[in-house]
Amino acid sequence: MVLPHWIPLDNVQLSLLIEAAQADWKQVEPAIFGTLLERALDKRQRHKLGAHYTPRAYVERLVTPTIMDPLREDWKDVQTAVQRLTDLQTLTAA
Protein backbone atom coordinates (compact mmCIF):
# COMPACT_ATOMS: atom_id res chain seq x y z
CA MET A 1 0.00 0.00 0.00
CA VAL A 2 1.47 3.34 -1.06
CA LEU A 3 0.46 6.27 1.13
CA PRO A 4 0.34 9.80 -0.29
CA HIS A 5 2.94 12.27 0.92
CA TRP A 6 0.23 14.86 1.47
CA ILE A 7 -3.43 14.99 2.31
CA PRO A 8 -5.65 17.13 0.10
CA LEU A 9 -7.54 19.65 2.24
CA ASP A 10 -10.18 22.14 1.22
CA ASN A 11 -10.28 25.65 2.71
CA VAL A 12 -12.66 24.69 5.52
CA GLN A 13 -10.53 21.70 6.54
CA LEU A 14 -7.37 23.80 6.37
CA SER A 15 -8.95 26.48 8.57
CA LEU A 16 -9.99 23.85 11.12
CA LEU A 17 -6.49 22.38 11.11
CA ILE A 18 -4.94 25.81 11.71
CA GLU A 19 -7.42 26.50 14.51
CA ALA A 20 -6.60 23.16 16.15
CA ALA A 21 -2.86 23.83 15.85
CA GLN A 22 -3.29 27.11 17.73
CA ALA A 23 -5.22 25.52 20.61
CA ASP A 24 -3.69 24.82 24.02
CA TRP A 25 -3.39 21.02 24.12
CA LYS A 26 -1.46 20.78 27.41
CA GLN A 27 -4.46 19.58 29.42
CA VAL A 28 -5.44 16.84 26.95
CA GLU A 29 -4.47 13.33 28.03
CA PRO A 30 -2.19 11.92 25.30
CA ALA A 31 -3.85 8.50 25.55
CA ILE A 32 -6.92 9.88 23.80
CA PHE A 33 -4.97 10.20 20.55
CA GLY A 34 -3.96 6.56 20.65
CA THR A 35 -7.55 5.55 21.25
CA LEU A 36 -8.73 7.72 18.34
CA LEU A 37 -6.13 6.17 16.05
CA GLU A 38 -7.09 2.64 17.00
CA ARG A 39 -10.78 3.31 16.48
CA ALA A 40 -10.22 5.00 13.13
CA LEU A 41 -8.59 1.90 11.63
CA ASP A 42 -10.06 -1.55 11.33
CA LYS A 43 -8.15 -4.48 12.84
CA ARG A 44 -6.49 -5.48 9.54
CA GLN A 45 -5.36 -1.92 8.82
CA ARG A 46 -3.89 -1.56 12.31
CA HIS A 47 -1.99 -4.82 11.95
CA LYS A 48 -0.74 -4.00 8.44
CA LEU A 49 0.47 -0.54 9.49
CA GLY A 50 1.79 -1.67 12.85
CA ALA A 51 -0.42 1.03 14.34
CA HIS A 52 -0.94 -0.42 17.76
CA TYR A 53 -1.36 2.10 20.54
CA THR A 54 0.99 1.80 23.49
CA PRO A 55 -0.58 2.99 26.74
CA ARG A 56 1.09 5.91 28.50
CA ALA A 57 1.98 3.77 31.53
CA TYR A 58 4.03 1.40 29.34
CA VAL A 59 5.84 4.29 27.68
CA GLU A 60 6.59 5.89 31.03
CA ARG A 61 7.88 2.57 32.39
CA LEU A 62 10.53 2.61 29.67
CA VAL A 63 11.19 6.35 29.36
CA THR A 64 11.42 7.24 33.05
CA PRO A 65 14.44 5.08 34.00
CA THR A 66 16.26 5.36 30.68
CA ILE A 67 15.73 9.03 29.80
CA MET A 68 14.01 11.08 32.48
CA ASP A 69 15.97 9.88 35.53
CA PRO A 70 19.38 10.44 33.89
CA LEU A 71 18.25 13.87 32.67
CA ARG A 72 17.08 14.78 36.18
CA GLU A 73 20.46 13.74 37.59
CA ASP A 74 22.25 15.82 34.95
CA TRP A 75 19.99 18.76 35.81
CA LYS A 76 20.88 18.42 39.51
CA ASP A 77 24.57 18.47 38.54
CA VAL A 78 24.01 21.63 36.49
CA GLN A 79 22.16 23.29 39.35
CA THR A 80 24.97 22.37 41.76
CA ALA A 81 27.59 23.78 39.37
CA VAL A 82 25.64 27.02 38.96
CA GLN A 83 25.29 27.35 42.72
CA ARG A 84 29.05 26.83 43.18
CA LEU A 85 29.82 29.46 40.53
CA THR A 86 27.36 31.86 42.16
CA ASP A 87 28.93 31.27 45.57
CA LEU A 88 32.43 31.73 44.11
CA GLN A 89 31.39 34.95 42.39
CA THR A 90 29.89 36.22 45.64
CA LEU A 91 33.12 35.42 47.55
CA THR A 92 35.29 37.01 44.86
CA ALA A 93 33.17 40.18 44.80
CA ALA A 94 33.45 40.61 48.57
What are the CA-CA distances from residue 29 to residues 18, 32, 67, 82 (Å)? 21, 6, 21, 35
Q: Is the pTM of this model over 0.85?
A: no
27/77 Cα distance (integer angstroms): 30
Query: Residue 42: which domain range?
Result: 29-93
Q: Is the pLDDT of residue 47 over 90?
A: no
- pLDDT digit string, tens, across residues 60-91: 888 889 888 999 999 999 999 999 999 988 88
Burial 28-64 (b: 16+ CB within 10 A, else e): eeeeeebeeeeeeeeeeebeeeeeeeeeeeeeeeeee
In a domain, 51, yes or no: yes
Q: Is the pLDDT of residue 29 over 90?
A: no
Number of folded domains that form the chain = 1
In a domain, 42, yes or no: yes
49/40 Cα distance (integer angstroms): 13
81/62 Cα distance (integer angstroms): 29
Q: What is the pLDDT of residue 11?
A: 94
**2 pLDDT tier (thresholds 50, 70, 90):** low
